[in-house]
């Protein structure tokens, strides 16, 4: 058994091939993962049941396995029927997880329709579909570089 937190073989294989600027989508259970992904992206379905697994759980494990230099969130628009009055509550979980991983990254909100456009780029290498039912829980991660000293 591997000693890192990430033990999923297909996710590990994709991450091993991913280079700087490659994009990883952690999709909530509402995201149209079969139609909104880049031409080079693999789809891994971890949506076992509503709420299982969550985007937060996937984020925590991925941050232990691959360097990330940008974390973009899907931002609702004012006329969206699912709009919220402030940041989605799950974003506070993301901030805590990012800080706990020792990273000094801010969440970078991208408007919903622009977020879809950002995902369908050739740099998108992986979508991990979760069972998360929270609104606007989607995350688009950009792979960074190893900074071994």
Domain map of the chain by residue range?
A: 9-143
* Backbone φ, ψ for residue 75 (5° rounding): -105, 130
Is residue 87 scored above 60 in pLDDT?
yes
pLDDT digits (tens, 9 = 90+) for 97-109: 999 999 999 999 9
Beta bridge partners of 72: 108, 140
Residue 2 has pLDDT above 80, yes or no: no
Angle at 7 between CA 5 and CA 10, to 5 degrees: 135
CATH no. for 9-143: 3.40.1650.10
pLDDT at residue number 146:
85
The tokens for 72 are 């973009």
Q: Is the pLDDT of residue 134 over 90?
A: yes
Instruction: Quickly state the pLDDT bin for 144 (edges 50, 70, 90).
Output: very high
**Contacts for 117 with CB less than 8 Å, ≥ 6 apart:** none
Q: What is the pTM of this model?
A: 0.94
Angle CA 37–111–54, to nearest 5: 60
Q: pLDDT by residue (tens digit) across 12-32?
A: 999 999 999 999 999 999 999
pLDDT at 1 over 60: no
For the residues of 89-103, what is the DSSP string, one character each?
Answer: THHHHHHHHHHHTT-
Q: What is the pLDDT of residue 79?
A: 82
Q: Looking at residue 149, what is its pLDDT?
A: 61
**Do 72 and 25 form a contact (C-beta atoms < 8 A)?**
no
Mean pLDDT of all residues in the chain?
93
For residue 28, the SS3 value is coil
């Amino acid at each position: 058994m591997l000693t890192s937190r990430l033990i999923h073989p297909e996710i590990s294989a994709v991450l091993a091939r991913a280079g700087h600027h490659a994009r990883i989508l952690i999709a909530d259970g509402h995201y149209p993962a079969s139609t909104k992904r880049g031409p080079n992206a693999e789809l891994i379905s971890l949506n076992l049941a509503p709420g299982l697994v969550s985007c937060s759980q996937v984020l925590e494990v991925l941050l232990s396995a691959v360097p990330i230099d940008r974390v973009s969130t899907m931002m609702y628009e004012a006329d969206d029927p699912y709009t919220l009055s402030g940041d989605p509550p799950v974003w506070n979980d993301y901030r805590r997880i990012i800080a706990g991983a020792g990273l000094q990254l801010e969440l970078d909100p991208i408007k919903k329709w622009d977020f879809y456009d950002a995902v369908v780029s050739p740099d998108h290498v992986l979508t991990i579909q979760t069972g998360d039912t929270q609104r606007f829980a989607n995350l688009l991660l950009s792979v960074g570089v190893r900074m071994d000293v």
